[in-house]
Amino acid sequence: MAGEESGKPLSRWQLIAYGQLVVPLAVIGLPVAVYIPPFYSSTLGLDLAAVGIILMLARISDVVTDPLIGRLSDRTRTRWGRRRPWVLAGVPLMVLSSLMLFVPQCEVTNLYLLTWIAAIYLGYTLITIPYGAWGAEISGDYHERNRISGSREIFLLIGLLIAISAPVAGAYLMGTPAEEGAASRSAVGILGWLTAVMLPFCALIAFASVPEPMVHDTKTIPLRRGLRIVMRNGPFRIVLLSSIFGALAGSINVGVVIFFYDHVAGLGEAGNILIFVLFVAGVVGSPFWVTLGGRIGKHRAIAVAGMVSMFVFAMVPLVIYVVKPVAPEAVIWGMFLITLVQGFAFGAAPILGPSIMADVVDLDALKSGESRAAFLFAFLGMVRKIF
């Protein structure tokens, strides 16, 4: 459905310009889940249960806004494209809400938190849904799409590394007492300012350097009929099912990893180092999965990564129940090796998954007659958030 220019390979600079936009989104995305609960409860004094309910309510709103923004983006026609205007609309909202949420200048209440957490989620949706569809449409080439999603994943992991290290560095540089840690005002505030400064700059680079292929006029179909076509799309059903299991597994890991490192493995602060190692290994391994996906096929490469990850993860009980009782000092090295291999395989799914999804979008366009990449990405994201 895209113009002829979508078949041309992107230059190295265009790949960088597209991928780097995800850095400020990662810088603010992870802290919303990790730092906001302790910041607003322990530091600012709100009730922890109320904070949890507010975060849940704000997250549920994405179930409505994700497919809505996706559908509207697909049907937008402007001289600047149909993705750029929505990303542009999300930038100022994200800048404002990140400052209000992470650098509050007044007394906070439950309503204050609900307002600005909902605003930051809306801004995130305005940017990420069209941004993902934009990446799927830049090229119609099977292998080129691996390079595009690979660039995005590398910069995503870099952004996560910044999100992990910036609060700790900020607290140290500002002399924050150790007992306040990464949830102090100075530590959390640096994340808000980083987002506010980086996001407009990164968006400008992407807008100026990355093409948005022209989409020929296509017919539009009713939402109900469109959903029926989607659910009859066999490859999409496979992607949807794998995404559901992936979301469940990821939620379990994120929810218990710190407690596991601290209370089961007995690693204490060394657990944070392992998380850092995971992301660094993900950055290092990303080019490998791009290359392997091009040589043996995306679906085979992602299966290889899954098998490797499951094999090394199965070694965790061995370390805890066999190694720890006889040599507790060796636990850190065993977990380090496991984390290193898992991190290397970590980037395969975020790189090859969206690349496969871009191919599925092409099939949907043939079946439905409507070019609706943003809606399909939004629908997939909505299901992942539910689980």
More confident position, 362 or 316: 316
Closest to 370 measured CA to CA, from 222, 240, 267: 222
pTM comes to: 0.82
Query: Does the pLDDT of residue 167 top 60, yes or no?
Result: yes
Phi, psi of 2 (to 5 degrees): -85, 170
Amino acid at 132: G
Looking up tokens 């291999």 gives: 341
Query: Does the pLDDT of residue 128 top 90, yes or no?
Result: yes
**CB within 8 Å of 81: residues ≥ 6 apart:** 212
Cβ 270 vs Cβ 286: under 8 Å: no
Cα radius of gyration (the chain): 21
Give the span between the Cα atoms of 249 and 239, in whole angstroms.
15
- Region 120-131 average pLDDT: 93
Question: pLDDT category, 7, cuts 50, 70, 90?
Answer: low
Alpha-helix runs per DSSP H in the chain:
12-19, 22-34, 36-38, 48-60, 62-74, 84-102, 110-138, 144-173, 185-209, 223-231, 234-259, 270-296, 298-313, 316-318, 324-326, 331-346, 348-368, 373-386
Which structural domains are found in the chain, ordered by start?
9-214+222-386 (1.20.1250.20)
Query: Does the pLDDT of residue 185 top 90, yes or no?
Result: no
Taking the alpha carbons at both ends of the chain, their separation in whole angstroms is 32
